[in-house]
């Protein structure tokens, strides 16, 4: 018997601010700037590009070009986007992996 699957669409899971925040936190945890740009772009599309453009002050073209894979948005664009989402970027220390007791003895 074949398994029935449905197409996954992230936009269906970004309807509330809580879902959007959780998605951005996950993107930040990956420590991948490209993923962060894509995540912001996904949220922009979930909210509606025109609405997001008005909220951020960024042009629709800047949103489409910057917040996609390989888009390389500026820190200013990222700041405007997160502010429009009611958030801000903060710095936190990187958690260093604990060394095993064998590595310490060497």
Mean pLDDT of 68-88: 93
Residue 22 forms part of a structural domain? yes
Residue 24 forms part of a structural domain? yes
Residue 106 forms part of a structural domain? no
Angle, CA of 66, 74 and 70, to the nearest 5°: 40
- What is the per-residue pLDDT for 17? 92
pTM of this prediction? 0.80
Residue 1 forms part of a structural domain? no
Question: pLDDT by residue (tens digit) across 42-59?
Answer: 999 999 999 999 999 999
Q: Which pLDDT band holds residue 62 (cuts at 50, 70, 90)?
A: very high
Residue 99 forms part of a structural domain? no
Residue 77 forms part of a structural domain? yes
Q: Which range of residues forms the domain containing residue 72?
A: 10-89
User: What is the 8-class DSSP label of residue 70?
Assistant: T
Number of folded domains that form the chain: 1
Closest CA to 23 of 55, 60, 53, 67: 67
């Amino acid at each position: 018997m074949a398994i029935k699957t449905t197409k996954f669409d992230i936009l269906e899971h970004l309807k509330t601010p809580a879902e959007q925040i959780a998605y951005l936190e996950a993107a930040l945890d990956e420590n991948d700037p490209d993923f962060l740009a894509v995540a912001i772009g996904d949220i922009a599309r979930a909210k509606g590009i025109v609405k997001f453009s008005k909220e951020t002050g960024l042009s629709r073209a800047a949103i489409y070009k910057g917040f996609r894979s390989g888009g390389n948005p500026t820190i200013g664009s990222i700041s405007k986007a997160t502010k429009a989402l009611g958030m801000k970027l903060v710095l936190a220390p990187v958690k260093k992996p604990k060394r095993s007791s064998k590595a310490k003895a060497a």
